Amino acid sequence: MPRSRHFSMLRDFHLADWFTLANAFCGTGAVFAAMRFLQDGQRGDLLIGMALIPLAFAFDALDGRIARWRKVASTLGRELDSLADVISFGIAPAALAYACGMQGGWDWLVLSYFVCCGVSRLARYNVTAETLADGGDKVRYFEGTPIPSSLLLVVVLAIAAWQGRIGEALWLGAVQLGPWQLHPLVLLFALSGSLMISKTLRIPKF
């Protein structure tokens, strides 16, 4: 009987998988940066967290290219990619938006909706990828916008943070709807989430 080795799973990872984990690492760092900002109020922490999302995007783009270059695409790699994307382009942008001041009750619901849309989008992609590829080795188009498109939301937040338009000074202010507050800027997250789960919107994959 072969002797089990410590961290044997990590020994089986391909180079592309490590880039995928770097994506997840950046997303997790962005969440921690948002938490640190809420604790200490240092805007630099928030900006660092936002800067980690484009870095995560770069790792996300590279892992697929490396997998195709080395011809080592696998089901494990695809699942890792989806889990990393949930962190970096779903949970992290929502956490950064919350840190920027979208903390009303309606904001919570919208940001949670956004994350759930991202999770649903990735799950649908994983189960339909082979069908969308039409027997080939590459998916020809996305159904709905891919979750890394949330990078655009982080860019908007970064501009607001850079200008000091966060918290009470957040763009478009806040409105009271019943028992809870809504920051209209959060509706960008509602739009993004809705576009991700669309079945009629098809975007060519290059």
Segment 122-128 shows an average pLDDT of: 84
User: Cβ atoms within 10 A of the Cβ of 200, count?
Assistant: 6
Is-contact 164 120, C-beta < 8 A? no
pLDDT band of residue 17 (cuts 50, 70, 90) is confident
How many residues comprise the chain? Answer: 206
Lowest mean per-residue pLDDT among 44-53, 61-70, 115-124, 166-175: 61-70
Query: Does residue 171 or residue 16 have the better pLDDT?
Result: 171
Instruction: Count other C-beta atoms under 10 Å from residue 107's C-beta.
Output: 23
The mean pLDDT value for 81-92 works out to 95
Q: Which domains does the chain have, with CATH numbers?
A: 11-204 (1.20.120.1760)
- pLDDT more than 70, % of the chain: 81
Confidence class for position 191, pLDDT limits 50, 70, 90: very high
Q: Which residues pair with 182 in a beta bridge?
A: 175
Selection from 154, 152, 149 nearest residue 198 by Cα: 149
Determine the pLDDT at residue 124: 87
Query: Is the overall model pTM greater than 0.75, yes or no?
Result: yes
- How far apart CA 183 and CA 64 sit, in angstroms, is 36
pLDDT tens for residues 50-82? 999 999 999 998 877 776 655 666 666 678 889
Query: How far apart are alpha carbons 5 and 17 in whole angstroms?
Result: 20
